[in-house]
């Protein structure tokens, strides 16, 4: 698969190290920017050459920012799509410098733009489950770390309270006058948001760390705490390359496969290769080259 990362970093070793940084940062969630409509302390300000992003102060501000950007995303606002794409990575601890300099933000923004213009077909829950499970299989973590449609649906319903504009359905009422809570059609941005969030749940939430047999035989209470701790350590160590089981190249291929399963192309059109730099507090820290 062709990858635009090579344009910014021709050294193959550096490319895989970037991918390691991408998936190895899942444990250090950071709050993203505030909204386009906001002003004042902690607000996101537009910059003539790109976007200036300042960190918000609270978790509530993070939810509001994502949802405000999601509204503009649905309207096809190109700058909102770019900022929302970056925020999706940043909220799970993937630095903007990594996501930007190696074109991850641009790849997602291109896919989201194509989806909003009707060029790219939607992602479905089965695609997200497949992407997560293929990644887990590729890096050799045990089956407890694999997910299923029930877990994904549970997380979507839980997260919808915090991100109603991003995750909730916006379809009109059906013939019976009822509104659906979730849409079967999922945008690329929402898909990556959900996929990375699922991996985060696997790291830290015991109810997401169970095998099918354990779920049917008592749930979390039936599993020793030491076992759950060992599972957290197993996945953490794998994503941070602190195990001999997987190396940088295996993790790189797994990451590429994750994006492929979500139909996020590795090759960029010229206008996305030339996306403006990401500017934080007036200083260029990374680039969408």
Give me 31's structure tokens.
């709050």
Report the alpha-carbon distance of residue 32 to residue 30 in Å, rounded: 6
pLDDT digits (tens, 9 = 90+) for 60-94: 666 678 889 999 999 999 989 999 998 888 887 77
This prediction's pTM = 0.76
Report the alpha-carbon distance of residue 289 to residue 286 in Å, rounded: 9
pLDDT digits (tens, 9 = 90+) for 176-207: 888 888 999 999 999 999 999 999 999 999 99
Candidates 15, 104, 112; CA nearest to 286 is 104
Per-residue CA distances from 92 to 29, 47, 117, 162, 192 (Å)? 4, 25, 27, 15, 11
Domain range list for the chain? 5-169+183-286
pLDDT digits (tens, 9 = 90+) for 245-269: 777 778 778 888 899 999 998 899 9
Give me 254's structure tokens.
């797994």
Question: Is the pLDDT score of 3 beyond 80?
Answer: no
């Amino acid at each position: 698969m062709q990858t635009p990362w090579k344009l910014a970093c021709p050294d193959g070793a550096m490319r895989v190290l970037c991918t390691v940084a991408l998936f190895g940062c899942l444990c250090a969630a950071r709050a993203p920017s505030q909204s386009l409509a906001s002003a004042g302390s902690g607000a996101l300000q537009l910059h003539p050459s790109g976007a200036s992003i300042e960190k918000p102060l609270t978790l509530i501000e993070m939810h509001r920012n994502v949802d405000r950007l999601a509204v503009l995303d649905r309207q096809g606002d190109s700058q909102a799509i770019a900022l929302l794409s970056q925020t999706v990575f940043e909220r799970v601890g993937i630095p903007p410098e990594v996501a930007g300099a190696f074109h991850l933000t641009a790849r997602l923004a291109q896919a989201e733009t194509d989806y909003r213009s009707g060029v790219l077909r939607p992602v479905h829950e089965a695609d997200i489950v497949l992407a997560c499970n293929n990644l887990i299989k590729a890096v050799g973590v045990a089956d407890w770390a694999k997910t299923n449609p029930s877990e994904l649906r549970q997380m979507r319903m839980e997260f919808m309270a915090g991100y109603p504009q991003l995750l909730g359905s916006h379809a009109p009422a059906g013939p019976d006058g009822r509104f659906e809570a979730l849409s079967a059609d999922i945008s690329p941005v929402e898909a990556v948001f959900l996929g990375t969030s699922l991996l985060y749940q696997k790291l830290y939430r015991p109810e997401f760390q169970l095998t099918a047999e354990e779920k049917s035989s008592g749930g979390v209470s039936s599993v020793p705490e030491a076992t759950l701790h060992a599972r957290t350590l197993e996945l953490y160590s794998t994503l941070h390359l602190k195990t001999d089981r997987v190396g940088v190249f295996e993790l790189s291929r797994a990451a590429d496969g994750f994006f492929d399963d979500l139909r996020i192309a590795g090759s960029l059109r010229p206008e996305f290769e030339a996306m403006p730099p990401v500017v934080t507090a007036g200083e260029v820290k990374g680039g969408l080259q």
